Each structure stands twice: as C-alpha cells, then as structure tokens.
Structure 1
Amino acid sequence: MAIAAAIVGSVAAGTASPVPGTPAPPQLPAVQARTLDERYAANRDYIADAERAAHRLGDSYRESHLRQLHASGRQFLSFDAQGDGQAVEVLGDLATAERIVVLVPGSDTTLDTFDYLGSRQASLSGGAHALHDEMRRLSDSSVAVVAWYGYQAPRTMSRDVATTARAEEGGHRLTALLGELRSANAQAPVTFMCHSYGSVVCGSALGGMDTRTSAGLAGVAVFGSPGTGLRSTADLSVRVPVWAARGTQDWIARAPHVSVSVFGTTLGFGTDPTSPSFGARPFDAGNSGHSGYFEPGSLALRNLALIGLGRGPEVSGD
C-alpha cells in the first residue's frame, strides 16, 4: 500500500506542451483507399513544415527526429508534431493488403522515440519494420503493418503508467482506427499486437467493443504485459483469439498483478494475461527481454509474424 500511495502522490512526468510556432496538423480527408496517397503526401509536407519550425525555434533534438521521419518513401496516415506528438506509419500497401497488423506501443513512446529507443528493434518503427520483414519472409501474400502511436502514452516514471486513464482514451482511438482500416480495406483481417502498457490500451479497446465496432478484428496478441485491465477473456463480448506471451528475460514478470482502488484511483491492471485463468492462447517468446520481442531471428518475432498471418496452428506454444 505504501508503494501505491507513493505512486498516487508522485508528480507525473509532464507531457510536452505545444510549443508556440509548431504548426498544427493539416486537415485530411477521411481514410479511404482512394485518399491514402493524399493523406501520405499531406503529412509528408506537414512533417517538413514542422522540421523547419523546429529549426527556427532552435529545437535541434526535435528537428533531427523530424528529419528522419521525413525520409523518402515513408507513409504516415496521421501525424501531429505538437508536444509529444502522434504518428501512425504504414508499411506496405494498406489498400491491397491481405493481412493487416497494428502495433500498439507502451510507455515512453513519443515522436522522439518513434524511430530509436536504445536499439532500432526497441522502437515502435523499428519493431514494425522487423515484423513486416518477417511476415514477408514467411509468406508471399501482401501484408501491411501499422505502427500506431495514436494515443498519449504515459511516461514510465509517472503515476499514469500504473492506471488505466491513458489506456481508456487510447482504447477509444484504437477502436476508431479499426473502423478507418475497414474503410480503406474491407477485406483484410486486422490483428492488434500490443506491447507492455499497449496491452492495457488493447484491453480497454476490446472491453468496449461490440459486434459492429469489432468488425474485421481477427485477433489480439499481448506481450511484455503488466496486465490488460481485464479479468479474463471470458468477460469479453467480442470472440476473437487472444494470444499472450512473456519472454524469460522480461523484467515485467516482477510486476504485481493486482487492481486496487486508492484515493479514487485504480492502480494496477489485474490478471496476468499469461496465466491459465486469463484464458489467452499462450505462445513462446523465448528468452526475449522487455524490449527484445522484435529482435530479428528470435522465436518471439517468428511467432508474432505467424499470428499476424493468421497461421495459428504453426505458432509454438509456451
């Protein structure tokens, strides 16, 4: 309880505020197959504007990251350079893909960590590229991977990382994204892959879905998870396969799986999704550490790719 009180009493690591002079995102057409190129082009121009603004403001750190994000050939479905930002990158042809995977990241994700966080595979974009490459290695079918930094991720050293508040907002946005993907490609099954606090976001989305809003969702995989905010898969009204794994070197195994109310705030995320009582399908993540699930050549990456391809029987169990 002392730990919980300390978390509640802590001052959250502040989310960066919009800096005067940083341009607002452009008005974009609704997501449809025919508007994808227009959205990609508008966001490419916007990133260039934001990069120039960062230069004028003397923010060389943000400028360097925006320059990387503006690299030729990158496709952003959505983008916001204000504050910690937002970025939704598409790898592959979203309109013609036969399978779509959405990667949902955890805490400390910002525009400045989107590409690199210690190592490339530990970043959202790096993990998405590794997964896209592995799926294409295992299959000749057309696949698309969406690196979705579409919610305000908490900072690790903040009270928000121990509550569901950010996840509830993110869950609504993730559900909306699923609808957008269906507008762009009504045929491709969509799989959510949710890392760390991102699994709480996915749990919130799943818990609020019904038959209509879950249309197109083929499955969910959670890994490196502190919990999902759900007691078990049996409580869901949406019946889709839910997979769960934790690498043997992942420190998240030491996180307590509790959910308690302290001073009007709910701390913790409940049942361990890798436990039998949760009801998920186990898959083997090998010796992955918390940031190593997308390491090329790893068992975790292979199994995640197979899940994304809809080849469940080939996934090795834990």
Structure 2
Amino acid sequence: FRCLFFALNGAFCGWPGTQVPTAKIFSACPGSRVLECRKLLHTVLQGRYLPHSVTREQHQDPTHSSLLRQDATSDPSVVWFFKTQYHAGTRLGTAQSVSRMLMKSQQSQAIATKLLTRPWLYNGRSTAARLYVAVSNAPLRVYVATHVTIVVAPMPYDVDNPCSLVTNLWSKRMPGCRNGVKYQYHAARGTDPVKGHKAEEGQSTTLILKWFPTDAKDHQPDSTITNVLKGNTLEYRQVVLAPKLWSNMLKLMRAVFLKVEANSSATNQQCVPSSSRCSTLYGVDVFIHDDFEVTLLEGNALPTQTGGNFWLDSTLHNYGRLLGMVPTNRTAYADRFRRVVCSCAVVMNAPHPL
C-alpha cells in the first residue's frame, strides 16, 4: 500500500491565490470541527472547484448574484442538485424547484450545484470517485490513498436525461431517477481479485480500483480499464492512471485542506486530539469531467464505508501500520484499532494555535 504525503512547507504551499497558513490542522470530532469542515469544503472552494454552486446564505441574500436564481428565472428546466449537511443523499430537481428548496431550507449549510454535462464515462456511464485522505497532526501531513472507489451510474449516460448523470440518489421530483444501490463486497482479507455481485440495470456499480501513476503523456488516454465487467460479474482489476488525472486529484486535495485551514481560524471551535499519534480520516467525493478536470462534490469526516467493508478496513489498517496512529474518530472503527486510544476535546473560544 502506498500513500502520498505532503508537508506544509514553502515548496508545497505555492498554491495560486492562497495565503499559506502556518497553523496546524487539528483533527475533527463530532459536534465541533466536523460541522465547520463540511461547510468550508463547500464554501471556500467555490472559485475553482465548485464553480456552479450556491450556498443557502448566498441564495437568500437579495444582493448576491445567484446563478440558481438566474436559472430559475431564465431557464427553469435546468437541472440542479440539492444537498444538506445531515442528509446522506442528494436531491435532483429543476432550477425552480431547487431554488424553492434552498429558500425554504432550515439547514444553514445547504448547498445547490448545477448539473454538469460532460462526465468521464466508463462503459458509457457517468462516474464519480471517492478518495480516502488521512490528515495527521504534529507534524501536519496529508496522506492520499492510492486505492480509489469509482461509482458508476445505474444507466447509460444520455445528454437528454439528467438522471443518467448521477451515481447514487433518490428523487421523487425527477421521474425516471432510480435509487442507485452501491455494491457491498464480501471477501476474505487479502483476496485479489475481489469479486462482486451480479450487475443489474438500475443499480449503480462500485468499482474498487488501485491507480498507478505512469509515464504516459497527458494527451494519451488517462486510464485503461480491462475486464472490469466480465459478463454480469463485477471483478477487481488494476487501473493504469496517467499523470494528468492523478495530478488534478492531488491538487484538489491540496486546495481543500489548505483552504479549509486558512479559513478555519475564523471559527472558535477546535478539536484537539489527545495524542500526537492520531489522525483524521476523510472521504472526499469528486466528479470527473471528460477532460479529466475534477470538481469537488463533498467532503466528510467520519466517512461511510463506500465500496464495502473490505476496502475501508484495508485503508484504515494500512494507515495505522504506516503512520503508527489511528483516526481520532475511532468510535466508528473501535473494533479495528485498539492499540492507541484517541479522543477529542472540544476547545471553545480558543485562539487558533500557531
């Protein structure tokens, strides 16, 4: 298992337009930093990685030039996503219906995102990726797992059918959209390849892929997937990833955590791990465009086990062996990490540490 890490130093922090923070990122825990992280992941990255998104505060502000408000007036049939902080799924609707949902939402961290229409396709179907990222404290390091989960839409992509773009949602407002059911793998640890269940139309398919950077040029195909779907049986296969897409994903991870840290000093809630051997695990979901650019969908601390227990268990165990530490959100993984007890202490009204 290979992880990539980055340290906050001059060479790493040369991100255009970003004030490089000298403070450390502290680990998240339920009830404090998690709330702020999820909000910041949505709001501070709008310029590049959420270019077609509108937050609840922006949409309800009459002085803000809301893209959603413009669409609701000029082209009300345009499709948008609607998400709230504590809602696990995504709602899909027209600009008019999503505008009403955002205006009426009681969730301060609700967000709407315009449907993108140029997805990277696998077997003719839209895809999204889940990256697992571990952030350690003292010193600050960000580890990106090379095992990536790819979720494939339940139906072939059709430019005239917005439902075909999404990989996992349920919406009563958009007829024809069916609930995508992710595959859950049941395999003995160490099994390779990992065989999944029968692929049925109307279900989304989760491909667990290990991506290897190659020396391929950017103009060459960025990925080669062979024999992933063999008949109706889903199997694990290696994916060869050229530098462009992998590089874009790493840039996104860098931007996410640098910008969250740069803006988190404004919040007076921090969660300090009780041990320097603790880390926080995040699940970051991204949309892959046909030109291999990436768009942030959402980031979650305490991520759910997307792709099945097997792969998240493997990721957690390998992080533990490599880093010698465990996630601070250990309550979700207590049966897998017992060597170190890491707990969170909420610090109220504390200055941001340097």
User: TM-score w.r.t. structure 2 length?
Assistant: 0.26
Task: Report which structure shows greater RCO (CA 8 Å, sep ≥6).
Answer: 2
Structure number with bigger Rg: 2
